[in-house]
Amino acid sequence: MLGSSWGGMLGSRYASTQPRGLKKVIFANSPASKARSMKNNAKYVEALPEAKKEILKKYEEAGTTAENATETKDEELLAIQAELIRKHVCRIDPFLDDLRRSIESSLKDRTVVDAM
């Protein structure tokens, strides 16, 4: 079984149940733990300029962050999120089309992200 990125966290959880037939697990670019990942994300946000942190705070207080919104089209918020992704998730510029479509899709419909 291959678990990549968040799939590695899901794969770890699944493998811990010792399912019959599972022989090997490969973790690729996966966080060590959700708690550690969230702590790192908070550090990345804290390193942003004060003006951008204020913008994120405004959206968080309104309940429209990507983490809990089902859909957002606000360019101001999306630009800051894209900046964080470019700096801390994928530094390929321009983004690969597959990654760009994946990010856009997850921002439009959070069903899968929220379920994971």
How far, CA to CA in Å, does 86 sit from each of 19, 70, 93? 36, 22, 8
The pTM score is 0.63
> What distance in Å separates the CA atoms of residue 25 and residue 21, rounded to the nearest whole number?
12
Kindly state the percentage of the chain with pLDDT values over 70. Answer: 91
> What distance in Å separates the CA atoms of residue 4 and residue 10, rounded to the nearest whole number?
9
**Residues 26-47, mean pLDDT to the nearest whole number:** 88
**Residues 15-35, mean pLDDT to the nearest whole number:** 90
CA atoms within 13 A on the CB side of 38: 4
Q: Residue ranges of the domains in the chain?
A: 1-30, 33-115
pLDDT beyond 50 at 70: no
Look up residue 9 and give its amino acid.
M
pLDDT beyond 70 at 65: no
pLDDT beyond 80 at 107: no
Q: What pLDDT score was predicted for residue 92?
A: 79
